[in-house]
Amino acid sequence: MENRNEEPAEPVFFDISAVKGMRFFDPHVHMTSRTTDDYQAMADAGVVALIEPAFWLGQPRTGIDSFRDYYSSLIGWERFRSSQFGIKHYCTIGLNSREANNEALAEQVMEILPLFVYKEGVVGIGEIGFDDQTPAEEKYYRLQLELAKEAGLPVQIHTPHRDKKKGTQRSMDIALEHGLDPKMIIIDHNNEETVKEVLDRGFWAAFTIYPFTKMGNERMVDIAKQYGPERIMINSAADWGISDPLAVPKTAALMKVRGLSDQDIELITYRNAITAFAQSGQIDEADFAAVKNIDQSVKFEGNSILRGGQQPRIDKSSIIIS
């Protein structure tokens, strides 16, 4: 008899030494929610660059200054913190779908977004789209698509957890209505139900690898084998919930064990993300090497990542911190 109360199976992770020496790009990870230990682990695993999309706080924000400070941290402190571990940090800026339902506050957010989307290191508008698929969510999704067109930036779209297929189709339909080129749109959080249509319509298909929910490692390998590597990328979307900032290299290791070629693995876990988001004009692979020159004695507005008399790690003779 089936045990309907049993716990989900443990995620399958392979030793990442199978992909030692490979470089990885995580195009969706919320590092504001992670520790410096996570940065170090990601660097050790071969993650050389990442994108941090703007997302919700976990509880409702109550004022515009909360958004202003958060966006400022994405282009300031968090970029610095990432550099202290040799990882190049980029971000996407936007009003996420969940917070779009507070229309009074959303109107204020729309007024300040142009102050941030043109900043250095901002590689797209995101993550935006649908959550409960309300009229308010659609209104601010449309407004931000127009902002992306004006700024010439890619768009990172959050597809809803509930009624995903409908929400994904609607997200693509609206983007096309606004005259956006599908190659400028990254549709995130895909699954087996959505991937074919996303690819057939010319959009980028991103997949979030969570330990117990959404798209697991094993399922992702099957999708990669079925559809190939073109316009497919994976991410961890790690945040303050149960998630894994090493999901990209771990899934790459499983792909290797399951027989995918190094070329295909590189496309899915590194190259495709660069190609998609480099359309912003903000990504240069040479920067991935430059940020490896670490000097942890440097401070950001008087703040350091070091605590308790720790000695700074210094891997270079000169300092380049913007």
The pLDDT of residue 261 is above 60: yes
In this predicted structure, the answer to whether residue 216 has a pLDDT above a threshold of 70 is: no
pTM: 0.91
Residue identified by tokens 């995620």 is 11
Among 32-36, 86-90, 208-212, 265-269, the least confident range: 208-212
Query: pLDDT digit string (tens) for 143-187?
Result: 999 999 999 999 999 999 889 999 999 999 999 999 999 999 999
Residue 315 lies in a domain: no
What CATH number does the domain containing 164 carry?
3.20.20.140
- Judge contact between 150 and 125, C-beta under 8 A: no
More confident residue, 4 or 167: 167
pLDDT digits (tens, 9 = 90+) for 287-318: 999 888 888 878 777 788 878 777 778 886 44
Q: Decide if 297 is inside a domain.
A: no
- Is residue 192 one of the residues assigned to a domain? yes
Residue 295 maps to a domain: no
Assess if residue 294 is contained within a domain.
Answer: no
Residue 252: which domain range? 21-284
Measuring CA to CA, which residue among 80, 14, 8 is closest to residue 254?
14
Q: Provide the domain count of the chain.
A: 1
Q: Burial of 283 by CB count in 10 Å (0-12 exposed, 13-18 middle, 19+ buried)?
A: buried
Under 8 Å between Cβ of 128 and 186: no
CA distances from 291 to 48, 63, 296 (A): 9, 35, 12
Reported as a single tens digit per residue, the pLDDT across 83-127 is 999 999 999 999 999 999 999 999 999 999 999 999 999 999 999
- With CA atoms as reference, report the closest residue to 88 among 137, 25, 156: 25
State the average pLDDT over residues 29-39.
Answer: 96
Mean of pLDDT over the chain: 91
> Percent of the chain having pLDDT more than 90?
79
